A and B are shown apart, each in its own frame.
Chain A
Amino acid sequence: DTGVSQNPRHKITKRGQNVTFRCDPISEHNRLYWYRQTLGQGPEFLTYFQNEAQLEKSRLLSDRFSAERPKGSFSTLEIQRTEQGDSAMYLCASSALGDTQYFGPGTRLTVL
């Protein structure tokens, strides 16, 4: 399977804990995006990378959120001191230069 992969697929954590998600993009894609989606809403943009450079971050992304893409391949999204409001599906997408984004299956986070 050469699509976008995300791990883990599900994460249950207690409030206050830190969590980290991983995204492996399609190998030839140099852009990688993170979105958050809650029930009944469309995906909300969080941040995106072109190669290893983080080019834009949403104002939605508080100081508790950080994303990295150290070698321009896979990316990690870390949430520190999780809150119940962080419960959502976290989606990763990748694209070549241009706009068509291909999404991974997402990581569903539940904060108890």
Chain B
Amino acid sequence: RKEVEQDPGPFNVPEGATVAFNCTYSNSASQSFFWYRQDCRKEPKLLMSVYSSGNEDGRFTAQLNRASQYISLLIRDSKLSDSATYLCVVNRGTNAGKSTFGDGTTLTVKP
């Protein structure tokens, strides 16, 4: 079993739709969590950190459920430009070096 697991998708949604991705992690000692976005043949870029209380950035909302060891990303009012692969990232500690990435969930937003 992988340390960080994501549904690979692909998720194909129309513009304006709401879409949610989940990610589960196996190491209960994990302390910090992130969502990165990766466009085709480009490097990953930080989308948002995930805090225990949940956090929102415009159309994007991230949630953390420590008891069930999963994090989620909700995208509201999808835009064509949201089409990308979304990577879930888990770190062992708030200041730990190693990051463990999931294999990503691919989203395609269609007109």
Residues of A within 8 A of B (CB): 31, 33, 35, 40-45, 48, 50, 55-56, 58, 91, 97-106
- B residues with a Cβ closer than 8 A to A are 4, 8, 32, 34, 42-46, 49, 87, 91, 94-104
Partner of A103, one of B34, B43, B49: B43
Closest to B8 in A: A40
Verify B98–A56 contact, CB threshold 8 A.
Answer: yes
Known: A40-B103, A42-B102, A45-B99. A100 touches B49 (CB 8 A): yes
The count of A-to-B residue pairs whose CB atoms sit within 8 angstroms is: 54
Bound together, the chains give a CA A66 to CA B94 distance in angstroms of 27
A33 interface neighbour in B8, B95, B97, B104, Cβ under 8 Å: B97
**What residues on A are CB-neighbors of B101 within 8 Å?**
35, 42-45
Partner of B97, one of A31, A40, A105: A31
B99 touches A101 (CB 8 A): yes
The answer on a CB contact under 8 Å between A98 and B43 is no
Find out whether the CB atom of B42 lies under 8 angstroms from the CB atom of A105. Answer: yes
- Contact B98 A45, beta carbon cutoff 8 Å: yes
A102 touches B97 (CB 8 A): no
Residues of A within 8 A of B44 (CB): 43, 91, 103
27 intermolecular pairs with C-beta atoms under 8 Å apart: A31-B97, A33-B97, A33-B99, A40-B8, A40-B103, A42-B87, A42-B101, A42-B104, A43-B101, A45-B98, A45-B100, A48-B97, A48-B98, A55-B97, A56-B97, A56-B98, A91-B44, A97-B95, A99-B32, A99-B94, A99-B96, A100-B46, A100-B49, A101-B99, A103-B44, A103-B45, A106-B43
